[in-house]
Amino acid sequence: MLMNQAAAQLAPLTGLKQNELLRLLEVPPQAEMGDAAFPCFILAKSLKKAPAVIAADIAAQLQTVGLDASPAGPYVNIRFNREELAPKLLQELGLKTFGKLQLGAGARVVIDMSSPNIAKPFGIGHLRSTVIGAALYRLYNEAGYTSVSVNHLGDWGTQFGKQIAAYKRWGNDEALQAEPIRTSLELYVRFHDEAENDPSLEIEARDWFRKLEQGDEEAQRLWTFFVEVSMKEFNRMYERLNVRFDHTLGESFYNDKMGAIVEELKAKGLLEESEGALVVRLEEENMPPCLIIKTDGTTIYPTRDLATAVYRHDVMKADKMLYVVGGEQKLHFRQVFAVLSRMGYAWSEICEHIPFGLMRFEGRKMSTRRGKVVFLQEVLDEAVARALQIIQEKNPNLPNSQEVAEAVGVGAIVFGDLRNNRLNDVDFSLEDAVSFEGETGPYVQYTHARINSVLAKAAEAERVENENQLENVSSSNNAAANTQNKPVMVGDTSWALLKLLADYPQYLEKAIHRNEPSVIAKYAIDVAQAFNRFYHAERIADAPADVKPFRVALTERTAERLAYSLYLLGVQAPERM
Ligand code: ARG
């Protein structure tokens, strides 16, 4: 917003286009230097002058039109007239349309997210997919796209043969109902343990899966049971994370759509036999072949993803497809997209894998096979318990502390994930994530709650003042409305905060452009820090009358922006903490 002003002033002097200038303009390294810096190297060649000379020229010309500009080596530093600009900016920030971008023109973005495997624990990878996907979902909606979320459940495949075989041997309905995931996991672990010495288990498992694919009644019934009990547990987690899906369509949904894909691959001459299996060779693409039908005639993960992509394109009318799935599946998606392209689907271009790094909890990794798993539910419970402890220390009289602790504990996990560049591997420390200090979710939430109490104090002071005024003179002027567009004294810390708030649309755009929710998480931390600097340096509720309306309004806009940024990330913003 502000940079536009600088660009408009510089355009006639430099002969550069506004857009180009916007790209070139920098923020000076120190706030004292000004608000914008224009690097003059870019003109040195065409003007055949040293950059420093050009900088001096431009600064002098800007000064003649009343701008505060000064040369600093090869840069022109420009200082905006904050007294005049601040009220205008503040007004703009208050508009309903502020921060809503129109990048997408309604295009439909289908986001594949969460997608856990039934009858297995909800792993950390699935947590990351869930929270990154949910954030992207909101970000795209913010920017003028239409987001559509799909939970592509892993509810099909040979592991269900294993699940059924294990259940038939050792299963117990009661335990499974009470604790579906833990019990399923125990069955799974036992299966792998015993299969080492008992090869008949693997054969049983394979038979069960084949029966399942052929529609055998008992196999279907058991499978449905596993899906239902698992979903009950997953849904509890989704509720806590406040995540909803537009569609929950597991891999099994594509069973009756796979035949057509296989036929099409055949008809297009792409299917080749290889050691009894059917594959699509991808030598030209420098990739190993993509397996389509296994030797036992059953379909496999990539086959189902081909059918899925076609469905999302043809039926869901996707204009863009995002797959929020861990980086370890990079090759899988490259293969699937390559096969789609081989099939002649130019739209394979709209498919994009959004990978993310590994996360460890307190150094614990997960390995389903050995049964050493970090259960998300336990992690959330522990985070909430820690949050409750901190809240009770800080604010023993908070009436709904349990509810707030849930928002803070769960928020700490979500924010603690999203603040990392998604491609980075993360070593997650619960203690750090739940701390009210540092770059954490609770820090942002706490700042937001503190702002609310500042605002309540300001409102109370206002009320008392109005009462006194009514007693004395009957001037009914509203001070806030009156000062909105008048120049106002603006301190350094309020100016820095205001500029950051005004920059929000740029951050949103960057987050979308990179599919990177961490941009917003870091932004929220910056805003919270900028507010806290302002709060410590300038008075707000008890500020002098001439600046108070401005500072109170700035504080209100800050609270809104923090709450909204947290909302985008899927984190709640309690009013009080
Ligand atoms: N269920 C899979 C897993 O846990 C992830 C599925 C991702 N989505 C997809 N369309 N392949 O590994």
* Domain range 2-80, CATH class: alpha beta
Instruction: Kindly provide the ipTM of the predicted complex, given to two decimals.
Output: 0.99
CB of 245 closer than 8 Å to CB of 237: no
Atom from ligand 1 closest to the CA of residue 301: 11
Whether 155 lines ligand 1, by a CB cut-off of 6 Å, is no
User: Across residues 356-369, what is the average pLDDT?
Assistant: 70
User: Across residues 96-109, what is the average pLDDT?
Assistant: 93
What was the pLDDT predicted at 557?
97
pLDDT band of 179, cuts 50, 70, 90: confident
- pTM of the predicted model, to two decimals? 0.91
Residues 43-62 have pLDDT tens digits of 999 999 999 999 999 999 99
Whether 305 lines ligand 1, by a CB cut-off of 6 Å, is yes
List strands edge to edge, sheet with 277-280: 271-274, 277-280, 290-293
157 Cβ contact partners less than 8 Å away, ≥ 6 residues apart: 209, 251, 300, 301
CB of 137 closer than 8 Å to CB of 144: no
C-alpha 304/C-alpha 183 separation (Å) is 27
Domain 441-569 in CATH 1.10.1740.10: no
pLDDT band of 158, cuts 50, 70, 90: confident
pLDDT band of 372, cuts 50, 70, 90: low
CB of 336 closer than 8 Å to CB of 309: yes
User: Across residues 190-200, what is the average pLDDT?
Assistant: 93
In what helix (H) or strand (E) does residue 36 lie, and over which residues does it extend? strand 36-39
User: Across residues 84-109, what is the average pLDDT?
Assistant: 93
Q: Is the pLDDT reported for residue 172 higher than 60?
A: yes
pLDDT band of 363, cuts 50, 70, 90: low
Whether 422 lines ligand 1, by a CB cut-off of 6 Å, is no
Atom from ligand 1 closest to the CA of residue 329: 12
Mean of the per-residue pLDDT values for the chain? 92
Stronger pLDDT, 407 or 215, i.e. the higher one: 407
Query: If we measure between CA atoms, which residue out of 372, 337, 363 comes closest to residue 429?
Result: 363
CB of 282 closer than 8 Å to CB of 338: yes
**Alpha carbon of 384 to ligand 1 centroid (Å):** 29
pLDDT band of 477, cuts 50, 70, 90: very low
User: Across residues 465-481, what is the average pLDDT?
Assistant: 63
Q: Is the pLDDT reported for residue 480 higher than 50?
A: no
CB of 127 closer than 8 Å to CB of 417: yes
What percentage of the chain carries pLDDT values higher than 70?
A: 96
C-alpha 392/C-alpha 105 separation (Å) is 47
pLDDT band of 479, cuts 50, 70, 90: very low
**Alpha carbon of 312 to ligand 1 centroid (Å):** 15
What was the pLDDT predicted at 125?
86
Residues 228-254 have pLDDT tens digits of 988 988 999 999 999 999 999 999 999
What was the pLDDT predicted at 296?
83
C-alpha 213/C-alpha 245 separation (Å) is 27
User: Across residues 381-398, what is the average pLDDT?
Assistant: 95
Q: Where are the domains of the chain?
A: 2-80, 157-241, 441-569
**Alpha carbon of 325 to ligand 1 centroid (Å):** 7
- Minimum CA distance residue for ligand 1 atom 5: 115
Q: Is the pLDDT reported for residue 80 higher than 80?
A: yes
Residues 524-549 have pLDDT tens digits of 999 999 999 999 999 999 999 999 99
Identity of the amino acid at 388? L
Q: Is the pLDDT reported for residue 367 higher than 70?
A: no
User: Across residues 489-515, what is the average pLDDT?
Assistant: 95
- Minimum CA distance residue for ligand 1 atom 6: 115
Atom from ligand 1 closest to the CA of residue 117: 1
What was the pLDDT predicted at 577?
93
Q: Is the pLDDT reported for residue 126 higher than 60?
A: yes
User: Across residues 421-439, what is the average pLDDT?
Assistant: 94
Whether 323 lines ligand 1, by a CB cut-off of 6 Å, is yes
Q: Is the pLDDT reported for residue 310 higher than 60?
A: yes
Name the pairing type of β-strands 75-79 and 36-39.
Answer: antiparallel
What was the pLDDT predicted at 373?
64
What was the pLDDT predicted at 224?
93
Please give the torsion angle defined by the CA atoms of residues 41, 47, 49 and 55, in that order, rounded to the nearest 10 degrees. Answer: -50
Whether 152 lines ligand 1, by a CB cut-off of 6 Å, is yes
C-alpha 470/C-alpha 1 separation (Å) is 40
Whether 114 lines ligand 1, by a CB cut-off of 6 Å, is no
CB of 573 closer than 8 Å to CB of 567: yes
**Alpha carbon of 349 to ligand 1 centroid (Å):** 20
Q: Is the pLDDT reported for residue 476 higher than 50?
A: no
